[in-house]
Amino acid sequence: MLIGVAIVLAMSCKSTAQQSNATTSVETKSPNTDYKPAFAGQTRIKAVVTKTPFEAKVLASGLRSPWGLAALPDGRLLITEKPGIMRIVSQAGAVGEPINGVPAVNGRGQGGLLGLCLDPSFASNKMVYWAFSESLPEGNLTSVAKGKLSSDEKSLENVTVIYRAIPAYSGALHYGGRVLFSKDGNLFVSTGERSDMETRPQAQDINSGLGKIIRITTDGKPAAGNPFTGRENARPEVYSYGHRNVQGIAFHPVTGDLWETEFGPRGGDELNRIEAGKNYGWPTITYGIEYGGNKIGSAIQQKPGLEQPVYYWDPVISPSGITFYNGNEIAEWKNNLFISSLSGTHICRLVIENNKVTGEERLLSGENQRFRDITQGVDGALYAVTDQGKLYRIGKK
């Protein structure tokens, strides 16, 4: 049963991990490897603590594995749920009925109804874009669809699948699944390399849609100016490659740069600043190891021509959805990156200066929730959803 609630969870939201002094990392566990970072501050940066009093409230609970959320112009939240449901939740925590018209999803494993975003002109055109795992005769894949929210908000109209990250594969893992509008009106889409040894090398293949960040038009065509346009044996929609499983993409509010987070294996979660045409290394270089403990490939972490992560985590925090804070409620959070962490069961706050991470904080770690996505609302607060079905509002006390 879906339940709308509004419970204040914490008054100052200071966890034990956040009490570290200025020279100590928030991470207290031993790393999985003895790999050396490429530069100072690439991992285990000093801890920072938010000084402004803030509070977190559970606005709603009982959601079915919520995966993505977007703030509607009036402050309500449009939310996707992994089994294939899209619904609206009010600021008071009232949970709406499922919206009709969502295409069938392959909900096996990590698949389902994934990330979503609103058209920049949503207030007038009511267009919604979302990613999902789609079943085809030859396998399943990450697809992107669009549709118009009806005037009564009960259904999506004229739903069209505009993009499919081929090739299809009969697996259940690593779909990526975030979609994001850029200022030029194009869409960025993140995909995964589908995890298995059979598909893993495709992250390095620019003629494959797996393990990529994709840039397309709202009709699903390759966007003009993409780095591999006109190149033989290359997919023209590919923007960057060498990714493992990207579940977080966001634009820096000042520089406009695209940033992403992706899952490492056992160790080696990454934060990257994305540039067109660049190779981000997976699986040739990585700061992680196989889940079973074996080394990956040649067990190298650096190679000419392959991009280094701006930051990495070992052990992992499993970074999913991300957002930059550009509100005015909490000044010390301005332009900080917030990361919803699954296995880390916290919201990670990163202070970034001159494209380097200079501080890290763990928020809401006492809630023991697998945070799946986070966004900033129209009221300037942060909103986050968890695998356990909760919707949080995080704002000034």
Contact (CB, 8 A) for 146 and 127: yes
What residue type is assigned to position 301 of the chain?
Q
Gap between the Cα atoms of 106 and 102, Å rounded: 12
Gap between the Cα atoms of 355 and 393, Å rounded: 28
Locate all alpha helices (DSSP H) within the chain, ordered by sequence.
122-125
3 state DSSP class of 212: strand
Going by the DSSP 8-state scheme, the letter that residue 369 receives in this structure is: -
Gap between the Cα atoms of 204 and 279, Å rounded: 8
Out of 174, 243, 252, 346, the active site residue is 174
- The dihedral over CA atoms of 146, 150, 156, 161, expressed in degrees to the nearest 10, equals -20
Residue 46: name the closest of 278, 376, 356 by CA: 356
Is 174 one of the annotated active-site residues of the chain?
Answer: yes
Secondary structure element (H or E) that encloses residue 91, with its range: none
Going by the DSSP 8-state scheme, the letter that residue 172 receives in this structure is: -
Gap between the Cα atoms of 110 and 333, Å rounded: 32
Helices (H) and strands (E) in the chain, counts: 1, 24
Token couple for 157 = 């109209």
90 burial class (0-12, 13-18, 19+ CB within 10 angstroms)? middle
> Bridge-partner residues for 383, per DSSP?
375, 393
Bond prior to 315 in cis (omega within 30° of 0): yes
Catalogue the E-assigned strands of 268-336.
269-274, 311-313, 319-324
What is the sign, positive or negative, of the torsion defined by CA atoms of 82, 83, 85, 87?
negative
> Bridge-partner residues for 363, per DSSP?
347
Residue 247: name the closest of 352, 389, 122, 342 by CA: 342
322: phi then psi, degrees, rounded to nearest 5: -135, 160
Gap between the Cα atoms of 318 and 371, Å rounded: 9
Gap between the Cα atoms of 354 and 20, Å rounded: 24
- Which residues are part of the catalytic machinery? 174
